Structure 1
């Protein structure tokens, strides 16, 4: 789509440099290409214009003029589409909803598939719109599977799970709570098990919330939109993984853990029960506490508190 087409949504927007885009996102770590995003500060605009996957930005005239004064970026700006808005964040979200509700920009080809030896309870509800279920899959009673869900071979979805529903994205715009349409999907790998009453939300934009091969997830776990969980992870009961989190492989997440949004948790990390994680975690780290710190530091801190 050409950036100039944004004027079909709002003719008052000033497109000072046209370009093409294929995706929208506000998460710079997404692997989407040819992205339109928004930047409300000079800091984020400077980051955006050097990202190869970002082809266009919505920003304010004030922020854009600050950038123009920094001559070292002048050549990079030429490669990006630029839209000037009085409220970049508001126009970005409203334009996304406009595309979702009034155009075929996000339309997916409807390819539904059910593999061999798959057992789906008569009490389960499975959408007929672009749902792919692999071989030897078990889907138990009262499971709800929405549009755009892919489930790999030999996976088990236990009773009460909800896969691919709308996520929680309600920004406040002009003192009103505004609903953001979710248009992505969910990909569940091979040999995955989701135990009773788990929820996995679909991604906000194009792309998928993902759960990797051989990962096992206990009861009442919530995986928010656009998060990606690696292979061979174990996630115990009641854990909450917020939006756009990246989890590596072979990770242990204890009962009741909360992981804040947009974090990167590298391979083989272990997080003890009840921990609240608010920063990125390096490979092999062991974390505990609220807010979570190195497990040995946490133990020492609590011992010292006794004396």
Structure 2
């Protein structure tokens, strides 16, 4: 549980509000358990008021009166000078004390690790017959599946791009999720796969093929047998279905969804949902031809 004592220890806050919650989350999110959120913009009050999971909320002095009126008596109002800074500073302290920061690294004896690779001493699991090539970096949070290959110079589990502007300066947010590489998946040279964040792990399914110089941001989920060509940028919390092909230099914005068997053409910029079996191209990406429900072969994704 997270209480006012944790907030006080992390941020130096001194107040008389009391709360006990299961986790931290944005004030409008409902993870199914009691949360502590924050509000520094009145536009988000309606969503917070409708959220049954919101048990306590950090608010600024400017929002206190309106928050008490809109949120009711069942939600504990905690007044702080900068809700965003207090929320993420508390998040950082909790994340740094998490199990992935302390558990010993486990490498299966049948894994092949090049002497020039770096494997973090804590929080890594590498399964049988996995291969880690020279100058690859495998950081805490990484879960490398059986028979997976991490090519030379790639980085698995790097902190993602999550920074907050606050009244006390820019605050970098600690990543606390896992980075899962599925069985027999290959991650190309100089590719980065960011660590999971805010209870959403980064996941690459089984039998994926990721080319060189690809960026996969925190919390993205790739299904099985996904092919990603070089130079692609997959932004945070993206969902990509099984058997998808993504062409060279494509960009997928955060939280976009790509359906099973879809194809994203070279250089496309994907802003909206891509239907299963669709083929999209351009900036912004649009359907270039009728959907093709026939699954493409793994041996030749272009057939």
**TM interval, short-chain normalised:** 0.7 to 0.9
Which residue does 2:215 correspond to in 1?
222
CA distance in 2, matches of 1:290, 1:106: 42
Q: How far did 1:246 drift?
A: 2.2
Q: Compute the RMSD of aligned alpha carbons.
A: 3.1
Could you list the runs of 5+ residues in structure 1 that have no partner in the other structure? 298-307
Q: How far did 1:37 drift?
A: 3.2
CA distance in 1, matches of 2:19, 2:206: 41
Structure 1 residue 195 and structure 2 residue 184: aligned? Answer: no
Structure 1 residue 138 and structure 2 residue 131: aligned? Answer: yes
Structure 1 residue 46 and structure 2 residue 46: aligned? Answer: yes
Q: How far did 1:239 drift?
A: 0.5
TM-score (norm 2): 0.81
Could you list the runs of 5+ residues in structure 2 that have no partner in the other structure? 291-303
Structure 1 residue 282 and structure 2 residue 283: aligned? Answer: no
CA distance in 1, matches of 2:99, 2:137: 23
Which residue does 1:234 correspond to in 2?
227
Q: How far did 1:129 drift?
A: 0.6
CA distance in 2, matches of 1:207, 1:108: 17
Q: Is the 8 A contact 2:27 2:38 kept in 1?
A: no
TM-score (norm 1): 0.80
Q: How far did 1:177 drift?
A: 3.1
Q: Is the 8 A contact 1:13 1:83 kept in 2?
A: no
What does 1:1-307 correspond to in 2, within 5 Å? 1-5=1-5, 6-10=7-11, 12=13, 16=17, 18-22=19-23, 24-26=24-26, 34-48=34-48, 50-51=50-51, 55-60=55-60, 62-63=62-63, 65-66=65-66, 69=69, 74=72, 78=74, 80-100=75-95, 104=97, 108=101, 110-174=103-167, 176-296=169-289
Q: Is the 8 A contact 2:85 2:171 kept in 1?
A: no
CA distance in 2, matches of 1:189, 1:50: 38
* Cα deviation code 1:281-300 (max 9, x no counterpart): 33333221112222249xxx
What is the number of residues matched between the two proteins?
289
Q: Is the 8 A contact 2:117 2:134 kept in 1?
A: yes
User: Structure 1 59/237 Cα, relative in aligned 2: closer, same or farther at 3 Å?
Assistant: same
